[in-house]
Amino acid sequence: MTVPKYHELIRPLLDLVADGRPRNLREAAQELAERLSLTDEDLTETLPSGYPRYLNRVGWAKSDLNKTGLIESCGRGLFRISERGSNALPELPPQLDRKYFEARELGSWKSVSAPPTSSAGPEARPDETLTPEEQIDETLAELQEALEQEVLTQLRSINPASFERFVVRLLAAMGYGVGEVTGRSGDGGIDGVIYEDRLKLDRIYLQAKRWADAPVGGPDINGFLGALAKHGANRGVFVTTSRFTQDARRAVELPHLRLVLIDGEELARLAVEHNVGVSVKRKIELKRLDTDFFDDL
Helix or strand holding residue 14 (H, E)? helix 10-16
**Average pLDDT estimate for 281-287:** 82
266-276 pLDDT per residue, tens: 999 999 999 99
* DSSP letter string, 165-183: HHHHHHHHHTTS-EEEE-S
Whether residue 188 has pLDDT greater than 80: no
50-74 pLDDT per residue, tens: 889 999 999 999 989 988 999 998 8
Comparing 297 with 210, which gets the higher pLDDT?
Answer: 210
* Average pLDDT score over the chain: 84
Whether residue 120 has pLDDT greater than 70: no
Whether 241 and 156 have beta carbons less than 8 Å apart is answered as: yes
Helix or strand holding residue 30 (H, E)? helix 25-35
Comparing 230 with 293, which gets the higher pLDDT?
Answer: 230
Comparing 206 with 184, which gets the higher pLDDT?
Answer: 206
214-236 pLDDT per residue, tens: 899 989 888 888 888 888 887 88
**Average pLDDT estimate for 158-174:** 89
pLDDT at 123: 46
Report the alpha-carbon distance of residue 297 to residue 292 in Å, rounded. 9
**Average pLDDT estimate for 145-149:** 90
Report the alpha-carbon distance of residue 199 to residue 202 in Å, rounded. 8
Residue environment code for 60-89, b if the CB has 16+ CB neighbours within 10 A, otherwise e: bbbebbbebbbbbeeeebbbbbbeebeebe
Whether 71 and 17 have beta carbons less than 8 Å apart is answered as: yes
Whether 5 and 68 have beta carbons less than 8 Å apart is answered as: no
62-118 pLDDT per residue, tens: 989 988 999 998 877 789 999 999 999 999 999 999 889 888 888 777 765 544 444
